Amino acid sequence: SLLPNKHDDSMNFLDDIPDPVSDSRPQDVEPGDTDAAYDIISEVLENQKGTLDLSNRRLGDDFFISMIESIIDFADGEPLSVINLNFSNNDISDIGCEKICEFLIIHSDSVAAHISNVNLSCNNVGDKSVAILETLCAEHPNLQVLNLSNCCKLSSAKTQSKFGTLQNVNVIL
């Protein structure tokens, strides 16, 4: 069901995707492969329990851009019961970060309405993303935690000054 339900933060829905230590990408998923992204996301969202955990997969920007399109198609405007997005350690750059943030902002009152925790830690997100991340924090009504720790291209001084005054979102740097 796409409607909100009880969630289990400990569940990883992509156990069938190879371990990133032995293979940097799922063998059957190429960057930008919209069909593969749709198939994976459809399966994950049909079985999800509150957390969409794609961490440590090194899937890259193209996968996440395709995934966003797949989520929009799959959800058909209904809010997902996903509360937590864990996209840590996926080689996401400023390009992918911008697309993820745009999705969360544009769909904050529909598909992405229940999302309250976004983990983008250990990615290649840099200072170019600070403005869109700041907009995300200001415009997504349910966002509570944004994890940007160990994003190697973020300058901590600039980021700290932008996010230091936020009161509604806990930004982890």
The number of beta carbons lying within 10 Å of the beta carbon of residue 3 is 9
- Joined tokens for residue 101: 């943030």
Q: The whole model's pTM is what? A: 0.76
Report how far apart, in Å, the C-alpha atoms of 71 and of each of 32, 41, 61, 142 are.
14, 7, 15, 19
34-172: CATH topology is 3.80.10
CB-neighbour burial class of residue 25 (10 A; exposed 0-12, middle 13-18, buried 19+): middle
> Measured between alpha carbons, how far is 27 from 158 in angstroms, rounded to an integer?
38
pLDDT tens by residue, 55-110? 999 999 999 999 898 888 888 888 888 899 999 999 999 999 999 999 999 999 99
- The CA R_g of the chain, rounded to the nearest whole Å, is 15
Residues linked to residue 146 through DSSP beta bridges, in sequence order: 118, 171
Domain ranges of the chain: 34-172
Residue 13 has pLDDT above 50, yes or no: no
| pLDDT tens-digit readout, 106-160 | 999 999 999 999 999 999 999 999 999 999 999 999 999 999 999 978 886 667 6
The full DSSP string for 58-86 is --HHHHHHHHHHHHHHHHTTPPPS--EEE
Number of H helices, E strands in the chain: 5, 5
